[in-house]
Amino acid sequence: MGKKNTKQSGIATDFDYDVIIIGTGPGGEGAAMELAKKEQKVAIVERYKDVGGGCTHWGTIPSKALRQSVSRLIDFNSNPLFRGHDKAKHLTFADILKHSSNVIRKQVQLRSGFYDRNRVELLTGEASFIDANTIQIIKPDGSVEMLKARKVVIATGSRPYRPSDINFNHPRVYDSDTILSLKHEPRSIIIYGAGVIGSEYASIFRGLGVKVDLINTRDRLLSFLDDEISDSLSYHLWNNGVVIRHGEQIHSVDASDQAVTVHLESGKKMRADCLLFANGRTGNTADLHLSNAGLSADGRGQLSVNEQYQTAIDNIYAVGDVIGYPSLASAAYNQGRLAASAMVDNSNNAKLIADIPTGIYTIPEISSVGKTEQELTAAKIPYEVGRAQFKHLARAQIANSLVGSLKILFHRESKEILGIHCFGENAAEIIHIGQAIMLQSDGGNTIEYFVNTTFNYPTMAEAFRVAALNGLNRLF
């Protein structure tokens, strides 16, 4: 592609674009949409044939679609309305993957339309740096194109960490990406890594009736959560038959045609039909030739950025998983938007909200926003707790979703809401009601809001009123 001879959207004659974005996941999409609306000439590069990045194809969307199917299967088999003389309904992993594939297809169509409507040029190929302003794209047919841009956004996401001493080419050894290509129906699985991904897949496979061994390298599940919520998940998995082994490390893996045997540093060993290795992720920077642009990634393949998502090279920005925490699709999209705004307006100081909600799609779900009890205790902040158990709510009884609870933490004197933690079906939806009130300024953030407002009845939202009353009754 030759250099332009005209100026367009303020592009100097020696640049092809105002901005080139590498990666079409949430971070890249957020940046592209914001830049297009600010009348910038934008190109976005995707290495795969379809847009959406890991979030759409291997991560958030497919795993949540799988989880939804399994959750409905559990509901069906446990609901007395459907419990006749028929045996429990059974689905295989391959069965539920069909639903996931349909969702992915719809998401790709939707997101491809965004780029078309906003006149963002979509380029397919492998992108890498020639220098800080020049991107080389190796296209699927092997041809090479050189493009120049005033600014570049790196939004290449992350991939599962793969230690070199484990053979991931073996048909019984998977990571969190390749597990979606599982063809056989395992009767047992070992999941190494009990973080968010490992815990979610432990729920999914156990819901399908698969024997699950979950190996946790730490001393408790999801230790960043409020302790009571972490304990609730641990108990629920244990109660459903998941064997959890805390504080363990893999020593070696033996994979044969018949099974996988995992040897632990503690001397324990276990055998299963397959292994899912889900212990850590690495930023997708290895193929970018960062050194040509004067950049370098850390040992986890991640880039450092300032508050405006600008790297050490002024005209190069990075967003999403490739910069590490919080590594959430929702945050990545907003990071892309904020980076785009900063590129166009250097005085723009907009930031992500301080209290980003977490949604963990185990069965049941977990969602939290704000401080945990442990954080408030360590900071010596006088707080009180309000609780509502789902089994006492009419809507939960109607839906037969009796497992779970909502917990509100609030300041004893000011009544300010400090944290909200939810465990149970639709927790990731329920949490946003509390989040909206937490973000109110001018004294609007108090637990008394939930007592003084009127909720539809029966709803799960009523849990906020019940928890608020429970908490206020503890004051004296």
42-51, 61-70, 80-89, range with greatest mean pLDDT: 42-51
pLDDT at 454 over 80: yes
pLDDT at 74 over 50: yes
Predicted confidence at residue 385, as pLDDT, reads 98
Higher pLDDT, 59 or 194: 194
Distances (CA, A) of 58 to 18, 63, 192, 235, 343: 30, 7, 18, 28, 30
Give the pLDDT band of residue 34 (cuts 50, 70, 90): very high
Predicted confidence at residue 223, as pLDDT, reads 94
Domains 173-279 and 364-472 are alike in CATH topology: no
**Which tens digit of pLDDT belongs to each residue from 105-135?**
999 999 999 999 999 999 999 999 999 999 9
Topology of domain 17-57+97-159+282-344 in CATH is FAD/NAD(P)-binding domain (3.50.50)
Predicted confidence at residue 1, as pLDDT, reads 40
* Mean pLDDT of the region 389-408: 95
The structure tokens listed for 303 are 């880039």
Give the pLDDT band of residue 8 (cuts 50, 70, 90): very low
pLDDT at 431 over 90: yes
Q: Give the domain ranges of the chain.
A: 17-57+97-159+282-344, 173-279, 364-472
pLDDT at 84 over 80: no
Topology of domain 364-472 in CATH is Enolase-like; domain 1 (3.30.390)
Higher pLDDT, 218 or 57: 218
User: Residues 174-212, buried b or exposed e (16+ Cβ, 10 A)?
Assistant: bbbbbbbebeeebebbbbbbbbbbbbbbbbbbbbbebbb
Higher pLDDT, 341 or 10: 341
Give the pLDDT band of residue 245 (cuts 50, 70, 90): very high
Give the pLDDT band of residue 453 (cuts 50, 70, 90): very high
Predicted confidence at residue 96, as pLDDT, reads 83
**Which tens digit of pLDDT belongs to each residue from 285-339?**
999 999 999 999 999 999 999 999 999 999 999 999 999 999 999 999 999 999 9
Length in residues, the chain: 476
**Which tens digit of pLDDT belongs to each residue from 158-204?**
999 999 999 999 999 999 999 988 888 999 999 999 999 999 999 99
Give the pLDDT band of residue 87 (cuts 50, 70, 90): low
pLDDT at 3 over 50: no
* Mean pLDDT of the region 384-411: 96
Predicted confidence at residue 6, as pLDDT, reads 37
Give the pLDDT band of residue 55 (cuts 50, 70, 90): confident
Question: What proportion of the chain, given as a percentage, has pLDDT over 90?
Answer: 80
Q: Domain 173-279 is of which CATH architecture? A: 3-Layer(bba) Sandwich (3.50)
Give the pLDDT band of residue 222 (cuts 50, 70, 90): very high
Closest to 95 measured CA to CA, from 123, 65, 54, 116: 65
94: phi then psi, degrees, rounded to nearest 5: -65, -35
Q: Which residues pair with 272 in a beta bridge?
A: 260
For the entire predicted model, the pTM comes to 0.91
Predicted confidence at residue 83, as pLDDT, reads 64
Q: Which region among 72-76, 107-111, 308-312, 358-362 has the lowest average model confidence (pLDDT)? A: 72-76
The per-residue pLDDT of the chain, averaged, comes to: 92
Predicted confidence at residue 56, as pLDDT, reads 83
Question: What proportion of the chain, given as a percentage, has pLDDT over 70?
Answer: 96
Predicted confidence at residue 88, as pLDDT, reads 64
